[in-house]
């Protein structure tokens, strides 16, 4: 790590951007699909007054799931970088 600080900063920053975009994408797409299901399914739409609360609950759960999946992705990116740099240093 100490021999390649620039690479770690670059990959860490780029990895954080992808993790953030992944969380937002998972949350937004899941919330949109959940909102469509809640509003377009007649058996559900007739029983609710507003679709805001179910959509908010869906968004919270989707963010938690997206956070869990993307944290695994971020850890994998870091591990791959460590393995690559070690292989580069030992293999030359």
One pLDDT digit (tens) per residue for the chain, 92 residues: 677 788 888 888 888 899 999 999 999 999 999 999 999 998 888 888 888 999 999 999 999 999 999 999 889 988 888 888 888 888 87
Whole-angstrom distance, CA of residue 77 vs CA of residue 58: 28
- Start-end of H helices in 41-51: 42-45
Which pLDDT score, from 0 to 100, does residue 36 have? 94
Residue 13, judged by CB atoms within 10 A of its CB (0-12, 13-18, 19+), counts as: exposed
- Whole-model pTM: value is 0.78
pLDDT at residue number 58: 95
Q: What's the pLDDT score for residue 38?
A: 92
50: left (phi over 0), alpha (psi -120 to 50) or beta: beta
Measured between its terminal Cα atoms, the distance across the chain in Å is 17
Q: What DSSP designation does 1 have?
A: -
For residue 6, the model assigns a pLDDT of 85
């Amino acid at each position: 790590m100490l021999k390649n600080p620039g690479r770690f900063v670059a990959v860490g920053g780029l990895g954080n951007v992808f993790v953030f975009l992944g969380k937002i994408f998972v949350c937004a797409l899941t919330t949109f699909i959940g909102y469509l299901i809640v509003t377009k399914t007649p058996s559900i739409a007739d029983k609710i007054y507003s679709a805001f609360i179910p959509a908010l609950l869906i968004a919270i759960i989707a963010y938690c799931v997206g956070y869990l999946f993307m944290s695994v992705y971020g850890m994998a990116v870091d591990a791959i970088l460590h393995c690559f740099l070690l292989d580069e240093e030992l293999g030359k």
